[in-house]
Amino acid sequence: MAPNDSELEPEILEAVRAVRGGNSQAYATIVTRFQGPILTLCAAILRDRQAAEELAQDVLVRAYLRLDTFDLRQPMKPWLVKIAYRLAQEKWRTHMRELARYKAAATMLQQNRGDGRPAESLLTAERSDLLWQAVYALPMAERTAVVLYYREEMSVKEVAAAMGISPGTVKTHLFRARSQIQVSLRAKGFEEGDIP
């Protein structure tokens, strides 16, 4: 696993200082840098493209309001992910129901397939579709751990801190998720030769 950014990137550091100094427009740098990871996480948790977009905006606005509490010595992504996970949990409990997960995932995939514009396409390849479907079928905590660990390349410790659980529990989530995805992909006809 590639290590995450252990210190704040210079342009992000500069942007944070500028925002704290009163230049709110400098926050655009932070939004541009982290909108992708935050939106991906929100989409993985909510399994709804539109809701994820709204939630990701909420997360970045909340982060802006709390920017004075951010420790400049720490990387920013885990801090944002922590905010995102908490807000997503609230949203999930309020608006989503576990029973509707397959339907929501199917709708989401269908919507994104139907839109030809690359910037708005969630999943373009069939292989990615199948993989995302397998991820969506996981329980919320497991798919969150999978996205943060594999997609966002965060360490087990960072994932644990963001989710408010122990590293051991994260490992358990990842183990179960891998096993479940393995079964799902096998059922969907993934073969050994599909390795990139």
Partner 1 sequence: MNCAELAATLENRLLHERDSHWLLEARRHAKQCPSCARLLELHQVEEQLTGLCAVEPYGTFLENVMSRITQPEPHLLQSAQRFSPEALKKPMIVLGGLILAAAYVVPSAGESWLASLWPSAGLFRAAHLSAYLAAHPPWAVILAAVAALLVVFGLALPEGQGVKNAARKSMIQ
- Tell me which residues touch partner 1 (CB under 8 A): 19-22, 24-25, 27-28, 31-32, 35-37, 39-40, 43, 49, 52-53, 56-57, 60-61, 64-65, 67-68, 118-125, 127-128, 131-132, 135, 146-147, 150-151, 153, 178, 181-182, 185-186, 190, 192, 194-196
Helices vs. strands in the chain: H and E counts, helices first = 9, 0
CB burial class (10 A; 0-12, 13-18, 19+) of residue 63? buried
Distances from the Cα of 120 to the Cα of 40, 49, 50, 53, 58, angstroms: 13, 10, 11, 11, 19
User: How far apart (Å, rounded) are the C-alpha atoms in residues 96 and 107?
Assistant: 14
Cβ contact 184:146 at 8 Å: no
Question: Residue 60 CB, nearest distance to partner 1 (Å)?
Answer: 5
Question: Residue 156 CB, nearest distance to partner 1 (Å)?
Answer: 14
Q: What angle do CA 189, 191, 196 make, to 5 degrees?
A: 120
Question: Residue 123 CB, nearest distance to partner 1 (Å)?
Answer: 6
Compare residues 28 and 100 and give the one whose CB is closer to partner 1.
28
Question: Residue 34 CB, nearest distance to partner 1 (Å)?
Answer: 11
Cβ contact 157:169 at 8 Å: no
Question: Residue 167 CB, nearest distance to partner 1 (Å)?
Answer: 18
CB burial class (10 A; 0-12, 13-18, 19+) of residue 7? exposed
Compare residues 7 and 126 and give the one whose CB is closer to partner 1.
126
Compare residues 40 and 78 and give the one whose CB is closer to partner 1.
40
Compare residues 7 and 120 and give the one whose CB is closer to partner 1.
120
Compare residues 9 and 54 and give the one whose CB is closer to partner 1.
54
Question: Residue 68 CB, nearest distance to partner 1 (Å)?
Answer: 5
User: How far apart (Å, rounded) are the C-alpha atoms in residues 17 and 13?
Assistant: 6
User: How far apart (Å, rounded) are the C-alpha atoms in residues 130 and 155?
Assistant: 25
Compare residues 24 and 166 and give the one whose CB is closer to partner 1.
24
